[in-house]
Amino acid sequence: MKVACERFETLGVDFQKRLSDGRMNSLAFIKDPDGYWVEIIQPTPL
């Protein structure tokens, strides 16, 4: 997840919430080109 967020950062993707923002450090939100929020999470194995 951290690597994915670093890649989005490198690509210049706008973040609504970074992993380091707030107490919930297990998820992040980026914005798509239309401004919609996209949740970035790490799925738990089954």
**Which residue is listed with tokens 């490198």?**
10
> From residue 23, how far is each of 2, 7, 30 by CA, in Å?
16, 22, 17
Q: Is residue 39 annotated as part of the catalytic site, yes or no? A: yes
Q: Which of 39, 40, 43, 44 is catalytic?
A: 39
**Residues that are catalytic:** 39
